Amino acid sequence: MQITYAYKSINKEWKVKNKDMKMKNDKMFSTGNHPIEALLPMLHLQNAGFEFGIATSTGKPVVFEMWAFPNEDENVKANYDELKSSFENPMNLTTFIDSSFDNADDYAVVFVPGGHGAMIGISEDRNVGKILNWAHTNDLFTLSLCQGPGSFLAATLDDQKFIYKGYKMAVFPDAIDKQTPMIGYLPGEMTHRLSEKLKTLGATVINTESDATVCVDRKLTTGASPLASNELGKLATTTLLKELK
């Protein structure tokens, strides 16, 4: 999974990776970050003057679900080509924490894109929890969509209070993930339900469909699915530019 951070110079952004997700039946599902969910919001932010930094948990390359790559979209392809070196040679999260936590004023937003890869190990990654709590404490924006909010669970590690308790958010629906094994997309049931877990922690999930729903609640901006990628990018950019005037 990837985390992207955005500077204020204007501005910068971070992203996170994993590849194989274990199902309830012990079968493995090869996945990663969804390219549209990552690249389309980043394109809007880039056009507004933001710069990006890319990080993964281990410093290994970002894994994209390339079957979903929008080859017909020249703007997204150009954005990918420009950032390809950063995707292939990301910073690791420990290095980012050590080098950047004392410079929060240089940053604008932490972005965790979706894809089922965002649910592999990231919720148990203490560095992810540190970064989300750092962003929250320093009044930075956090941006995520689809399964990306699985990262939010890391903010509760070591008995920490859930920083998004009482927040509204859009998340990929559990009902859709329950259906995907029946159509052959997932090779089995997932080990946990993301929306259900976030609700038990005190979040309000506002969508029930895998649609273009987007939501802003304080400094948290979220989207429901790949269909929300464009609207999420526009909403995040408008919100950030208004805040950073």
What does the pLDDT look like over 34-52, one tens digit per residue?
A: 899 999 999 999 999 999 9
Tell me: the pLDDT tens digits for 194-203? 999 999 999 9
Read off the pLDDT of residues 14-31 as tens digits, 9 standing for 90 and up: 444 456 666 677 776 556
Query: What is the average pLDDT value for the chain, to the nearest integer?
Result: 86
More confident: 244 or 31: 244
- In this structure, of 57-66, 87-96, 135-144, 157-166, the range with the lowest mean pLDDT score is 57-66
Of residues 179 and 158, more confidence is placed in 158
Structure tokens at 78: 């150009």
Q: Considering only 118-122, 136-140, 183-187, which range has the smallest mean pLDDT? A: 183-187
CA-to-CA separations, 194 to 82, 137, 147, in angstroms, rounded: 33, 24, 8
Residue 3: band (very low, low, confident or very high) from pLDDT cuts 50, 70, 90:
low
Average pLDDT over residues 58-64: 89
Contact 83, 54 (CB under 8 A): yes
Q: How confident is the model at residue 175 (pLDDT cuts 50, 70, 90)?
A: confident
Smallest CA-to-CA distance from 153 within 169, 175, 138 is with 169
pTM of the model: 0.86
Task: Answer yes or no: 215 catalytic.
Answer: no
**Mean of the pLDDT values across residues 72-99?**
94
DSSP state of 50: B
Across residues 197-224, what is the average pLDDT? 97
Q: What is the mean pLDDT of residues 67-95?
A: 92
Distance CA 245, CA 232 (A): 20
The catalytic residue among 112, 146, 171, 205 is: 146
For residue 177, the domain's CATH number is 3.40.50.880
Q: 2 pLDDT exceeds 70?
A: no
Tell me which of 174 and 43 has the higher pLDDT: 43
Domain extent, residue 80, equals 2-243
How many beta carbons lie within 10 A of that of residue 107, not counting itself? Answer: 24
188 class by beta-carbon count within 10 Å (0-12 exposed, 13-18 middle, 19+ buried):
middle
- The pLDDT assigned to 107 comes to 93
Identify which of 240, 10, 34 has the alpha carbon closest to the alpha carbon of residue 140.
Answer: 240
pLDDT interval class at 239 (50, 70, 90): very high
As for how many domains the chain has, the answer is 1
